[in-house]
């Protein structure tokens, strides 16, 4: 069975044709439970997300902040396994018909087996993988199997990425490029936003025609509209996870992420 890279590309193209950015949401598998996580993802799609990234919980998520680390810890203590991640992808995609990716560090895939992981992800209807810590120069084996199974390989770029590196990544990747810029870390929101806009411009100039989607710490419609002004996709993770963590119970958490998705979906459409 082939994965859904084409569905991912078509979804991003459809958003562009509407004159807007795509809304990409992130939620970890197994949080607050496997079943609860699946319901939350369905709710995010129902609220207006175009694409969802399913996080594969990791014991040392070095690139994630404390909110996502907390959710990962809850999922791991609940015993989440890669099989549960695959089930989450499968049920979320089958229920909505929309593209679902996995976001994971490399170590779990390496231990599980690249061929096994890509085959199972394609069988589950997955659209691809976001691999934040896999160096492009060490990605040939992954890319060979991902391409064979119809899966996107999404690499992450940062403001520190040099132009030569951006060219290498845009040539090797597929689906889209994930442009990471952390709001509130390197300065004010305005200056970080400008940094992200510069990164998007440099990534596009590096060559290739992959969409460039930005994860910037967006948490409300105004910020989503701001990023939608220069990016092909707006990626939101911690804000969704925080809604779940802050909710008094799982049902309220599901409603909370549905409402946030609807708010953010309006934000990305302000550019239309």
Q: Which residues are known catalytic residues?
A: 53, 64
- Write down the H helix ranges in the chain: 5-17, 34-47, 66-77, 82-96, 106-112, 114-123, 140-148, 163-172, 189-205, 221-228, 238-246, 250-269
Between CA 185 and CA 12, with CA 101 as vertex, the angle to 5 degrees is 85
Collapsed DSSP state (helix, strand, coil) of residue 89: helix
Of the candidates 215, 222, 203, which has an alpha carbon nearest to the alpha carbon of residue 241? 215
Bridge partners of 27?
54
């Amino acid at each position: 069975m082939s994965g859904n890279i084409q569905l991912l590309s078509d979804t991003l193209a459809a958003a562009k044709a509407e004159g807007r950015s795509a809304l990409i949401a992130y939620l970890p598998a197994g949080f607050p439970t496997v079943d609860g996580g699946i319901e939350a993802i369905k709710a995010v799609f129902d609220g207006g997300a175009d694409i969802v990234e399913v996080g594969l919980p990791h014991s040392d998520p070095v690139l994630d902040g404390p909110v996502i680390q907390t959710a990962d810890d809850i999922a791991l203590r609940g015993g989440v396994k890669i099989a549960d991640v695959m089930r989450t992808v499968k049920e979320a995609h089958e229920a909505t018909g929309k593209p679902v990716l996995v976001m994971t560090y490399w170590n779990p895939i390496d231990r599980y087996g690249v061929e096994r992981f890509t085959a199972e992800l394609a069988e589950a209807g997955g659209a691809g993988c976001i691999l934040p810590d896999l160096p492009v120069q060490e990605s040939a084996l992954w890319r060979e199997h991902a391409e064979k199974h119809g899966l996107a390989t999404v690499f992450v770029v940062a403001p520190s990425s040099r132009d030569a590196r951006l060219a290498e990544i845009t040539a090797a990747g597929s689906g889209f490029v994930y442009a990471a810029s952390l709001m509130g870390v390197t300065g004010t929101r305005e200056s970080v936003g400008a940094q992200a806009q510069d990164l998007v411009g440099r990534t596009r100039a590096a060559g290739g025609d992959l969409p460039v989607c930005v994860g910037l710490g967006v948490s409300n419609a105004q910020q989503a509209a701001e990023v939608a002004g220069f990016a092909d996709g707006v990626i939101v993770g911690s804000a969704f996870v925080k809604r779940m963590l802050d909710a008094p119970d799982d049902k309220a958490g599901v409603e909370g992420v549905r409402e946030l998705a609807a708010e953010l979906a309006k934000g990305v459409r302000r550019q239309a």
